[in-house]
Amino acid sequence: MFSLDNKSAVVTGGGSGIGKAVAELFSLQGAAVYVIDLDIENALKTVQTIEEKGGKAFAYACDVGKQEEVKAVFDGIGHIDILVNCAGIAHIGQAHTTDVQDFEHVFNVNVKGIYNCLHEVIPVFIRQGSGVILNLASIAALIGLPDRFAYSMSKGAVYAMTLSVARDYVRQNIRCNSISPARVHTPFVDGFISKNYPGQEAEMFDKLSKTQPIGRMGTVEEIAALALYLCSDEAGFITGNDYPIDGGFIKLNN
């Protein structure tokens, strides 16, 4: 079950965090993985890890917010069966404290970045007669989070794009779903804590972990496992859905 043999998977943001875990798991399940990341060194590290385990992977440096760069990468890849849109950035701030530059930066990466990838991959899927898209949204798309105005805006757009694409291309055998994680332990979380709470790292890590009713943060491997299911043939009857993976955050905190 959950084999991706003979499939080609593009993973944006595959150089670190959730994207890296997705790329590595998809490779273990047999896919040829195309790792796209703004940081080519991180992308190459992911590829190296995959190759050391006998997998097949390729690294591409790309700013997903720039359509010409995305087009060049996708044209170079050619055949694609799966697209996982993991590339994204976070931002802390409320509506009146978020300046236009930060707002536009979040929009360009988290919203336009996914649009650019969709714009290039959907014609490929239409020609092939099949394809699978998985977008990384967030619980911020579903509930109000404090001090996450721009980030929530962007993830709400991801959620809406998922539903729109699923509706528009269901007859072309193209599936599109999204995942909405709560707080997941990634290098970003560690960097955020060390930057904003120097000397209080352990205390803040524990505090942030306990905001999930389950009492801990999620792991990137747990997110990747759900991604694998949704991109596999076993999920062939699933499209137009969002899947919270949140340690009970949405239902049990209210």
Residue 14, pLDDT > 80, answer: yes
pLDDT band at 254 (very low <50, low <70, confident <90, very high): low
Backbone φ, ψ for residue 34 (5° rounding) = -110, 110
C-alpha separations of 236 from 205, 217, 223 in Å? 38, 29, 19
Give residue-wise pLDDT tens across range 71-130: 999 999 999 999 999 999 999 999 999 999 999 999 999 999 999 999 999 999 999 999
CB of 159 closer than 8 Å to CB of 141: yes
Mean pLDDT taken over the chain: 96
Written as six digits, the tokens of 198 are: 């120097």
Within 10 Å of residue 73's Cβ, how many Cβ atoms? 19
CB of 125 closer than 8 Å to CB of 131: yes
Give the closest residue to 180 by CA, choosing from 248, 242, 224.
242
Decide if 151 is catalytic.
yes
Active-site residue, from 34, 60, 151, 159: 151
Domains of the chain (ranges; CATH) run 8-184+219-252 (3.40.50.720)
Residue 248, pLDDT > 80, answer: yes
CB of 247 closer than 8 Å to CB of 218: yes
Give residue-wise pLDDT tens across range 192-243: 888 878 999 999 999 989 989 999 999 999 999 999 999 999 999 999 999 9
What's the 3-state SS for 105-137? HHHHHHHHHHHHHHHHHHHHHHHHCCEEEEEEC
Per the listing, tokens 């757009």 go with: 157
Q: In angstroms, rounded to a whole number, what is the distance separating the alpha carbons of residues 101 and 103? A: 5
Burial of 196 (0-12, 13-18, 19+ CB in 10 A): exposed
